[in-house]
Amino acid sequence: MNNLPAFVVIAPGYMVQAWLFETHRALGGFGYRVTMVGVSALVWTLIIFSVAGAIRLLRRRVRRWLPRLSVGNSGGVA
């Protein structure tokens, strides 16, 4: 592969295939391709959902925190 972004996307599949090869359970032909694409898709889906969930949680906490800053922040002046 001479395309770095493509390699990064498919790297999780390569890792699983390398592990399968080392444990003498490597798949050949169509199974190799299914493993590469399937594992990579699963890993990237989990990464995207994790990042989206973290952003959602962060936004929720910021929204709860911001109204507290404006309430009672008059500096003691009536």
What does the pLDDT profile of the chain (78 residues) look like in tens digits? 689 898 889 999 999 999 998 998 888 899 999 999 999 999 999 999 999 999 999 999 988 887 766 655 555 555
Q: What is the pLDDT of residue 12?
A: 93
- Rounded to 5°, the CA angle 65-68-70 comes to 120
Q: What is the pLDDT of residue 72?
A: 57
Distance CA 36, CA 16 (A): 8
Specify the residue for token string 């990464």. Answer: 47
Task: Indicate yes or no: pTM above 0.75.
Answer: no
Distance CA 40, CA 36 (A): 6
Query: Rounded to whole angstroms, what are the CA distances from 73 to 61, 64, 68, 70?
Result: 20, 16, 9, 6
Q: What is the pLDDT of residue 13?
A: 92
Q: What is the pLDDT of residue 58?
A: 94
